[in-house]
């Protein structure tokens, strides 16, 4: 009930009172945060548009002003998660040693650690069923850069004579299958039947990564 003139560069910043929640705020952002929280609490399946709306204090239909579908909301959540994932991997790489194979190991370790510690967020960026990855440019880009990074590191290791002769593309896919498989076994609850308890998992992750690297390394 305010006739506050519509100045062209209007910034509906803040009111002294808060008569109605989120009529003014960034609902899009609030919905993404609520969904991120829901993913953390109960996994991707626990995300419902209605629950996100409830937590944001808006009506069931309101989110559809900002996201055309549940999938679009999930995609926004995945973009956020993917950003964090990539940031952590690049941070780990910045602190990595100079030799290429050692850096390859750091890449794998950072991948595994983030996946182990953020299983539900990892799942949402890894599983195809939550949104259409082909239409998620930011995620595809982040992903492609990670793949290229691994490719370069592996090529450098080979050039430095650290690898035994092999098809590098296959080494790369095998390495990815290994770490993805391990992360997925965690998400999918396989470790109890493998006798790997929670705290042990990260040490085991390191062990199987080293086993793989020994397998591809040139041996004296």
Partner DNA sequence: ACCTGAACACCGTTCAAGT
In the complex, the residues that contact its own copies under the rule CB under 8 A are: 43, 45, 126-129, 133, 140, 143-144, 147, 166-167, 170-171, 173-174, 176-182, 184-185, 188-190, 193-194, 196, 204, 207-208, 211-212, 214-216, 219
Q: Would you say 58 or 89 has its CB closer to DNA? A: 58
C-beta of 138 vs 185, nearer to its own copies: 185
Instruction: Give the Cα separation of 36 and 16 in Å (integer).
Output: 29
The three-class DSSP label of residue 217 is strand
**CB 192 → its own copies: shortest distance, Å?**
8
| Residue 59, contacted partner among DNA, its own copies, none, CB below 5-8 A by kind | DNA
**Single residue of 37, 40, 55, 71 touching DNA by CB under 7 A:** 71
Q: How far is the CB of 126 from its own copies (least distance, A)?
A: 6
Distance between CA 185 and CA 87 in Å, rounded?
Answer: 24
Q: Residue 58: name its binding partner from its own copies, DNA, none (Cβ under 5 to 8 Å by kind).
A: DNA
Half-sphere exposure of 198 (CA within 13 A, CB side): 2
Residues 11-21: b if buried by 16+ CB within 10 A, e if exposed? eeeeeeeeeee
Q: How far is the CB of 81 from DNA (least distance, A)?
A: 18
**126 and 80 in contact (C-beta within 8 Å)?**
no
Number of residues this chain uses to bind DNA (CB under 7 A)? 23
User: How far is Cα 140 from Cα 46, in angstroms, rounded to an integer?
Assistant: 24
Tell me how far apart the alpha carbons of residues 175 and 158 are, in angstroms, rounded to a whole number.
15
The phi-psi region of residue 195 (left if phi > 0; otherwise alpha if psi is between -120 and 50; otherwise beta) is left
Write the interaction track for DNA spanning residues 15-54; mark x where CB under 7 A is met and - where it is not. Answer: -------xx-x-x-------------------xxxxx---
> Which residues are near DNA by CB under 7 A?
1, 22-23, 25, 27, 47-51, 57-62, 64-66, 68-71
């Amino acid at each position: 009930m305010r006739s506050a003139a519509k100045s062209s560069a209007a910034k509906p910043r803040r009111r002294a009172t808060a008569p109605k929640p989120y009529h003014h705020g960034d609902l899009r952002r609030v919905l993404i945060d609520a969904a991120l929280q829901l993913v953390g609490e109960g996994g991707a399946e626990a995300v419902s548009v209605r629950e996100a709306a409830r937590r944001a204090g808006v009506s069931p239909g309101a989110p559809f002003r900002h996201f055309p579908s549940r999938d679009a909301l999930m995609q926004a959540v995945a973009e956020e998660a993917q950003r964090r994932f990539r940031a952590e991997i690049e941070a780990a790489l910045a602190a990595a040693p100079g030799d290429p194979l050692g850096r390859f190991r750091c890449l794998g370790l950072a991948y595994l650690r983030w996946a182990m510690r953020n299983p539900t967020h990892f799942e949402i960026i890894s599983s195809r069923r939550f949104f259409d990855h082909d239409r998620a440019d930011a995620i595809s880009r982040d992903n492609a850069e990670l793949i290229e990074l691994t490719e370069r590191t592996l090529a450098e290791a080979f050039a430095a004579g650290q690898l035994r002769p092999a098809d590098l593309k296959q080494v790369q896919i095998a390495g990815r299958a290994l770490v993805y498989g391990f992360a997925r076994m965690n998400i999918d609850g396989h470790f109890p039947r493998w006798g790997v308890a929670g705290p042990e998992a990260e040490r085991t992750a390191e062990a199987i990564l080293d086993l793989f690297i020994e397998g591809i390394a040139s041996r004296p």
